Chains A and B, each alone.
Chain A
Amino acid sequence: MPRASATTRKRPTPALLGPLSTRRTAPPPLLPQPLLERLLSVAMERGAEFAEVYVERALTTAVILEEARVKSAQTGLAQGVGVRVIAGAKVGYAYSDDLEEASLLRAARTAAMIAQGGGSEQSFKVSRAPSPTYYRVATPLADIEVARKADLVLRADKAARAFDARIKQVNGSYADVTKRIAVGNTLGHYSEDTQDLCRLSVQVMAEGKNKERRTGYYGGGGRVSFNHFDTFTPESVAREAARQAIATLGATECQAGPQTVVLAPGWSGILLHEAVGHGLEADFIRKGTSLFAGKVGQKVASDLVTVIDDGTVANSRGSINVDDEGAPGQHKVLIEKGVLKGYLYDQLNAKLMGQRSTGSGRRESFKHMPLPRMTNTYLAPGDHAPEDILKEVKRGLYCAHFGGGQVDITNGNFVFEVAEAYQIEDGKLGKPVKNAILIGVGPEALKNVTRVGCDPMPDPGLGTCGKDGQSLPVGVGLPTLRIDNMTVGGTKVA
Chain B
Amino acid sequence: MKRVSFAHMGYSYLGFQQLVEDMGFEAIVPPHPSRATLDRGVTYAPEYACIPFKMVLGTYLEVLERGAQMIITSGGVGPCRAGLYGMMHEKILRNLGYDFEIFIFDPPLTGIWTFFLKLRRVLKTAGVSWLAFVDIVRRAWAKLKLLDELEQTATVIRPYEINKGETTRLFHQCLKLVEQARSMKEITAAREECISLLKNIPQDRTRRPLKIGIVGEIYVLLEPFMNLDIEKTLGEMGVITHRSIYLTQYTTTDVLSHGAQDVRQLAHPYLNQFVGGHGQNSVGETILYARNGFDGVIQVAPFTCIPEIVAKSILPRVSRDFGIPVLSLTIDEQTGRAGVETRLEAFVDLLRQRREQREAKRDAALLFGY
A, B co-complexed: no
Interface residues of A (CB under 8 A from B): none
Interface residues of B (CB under 8 A from A): none
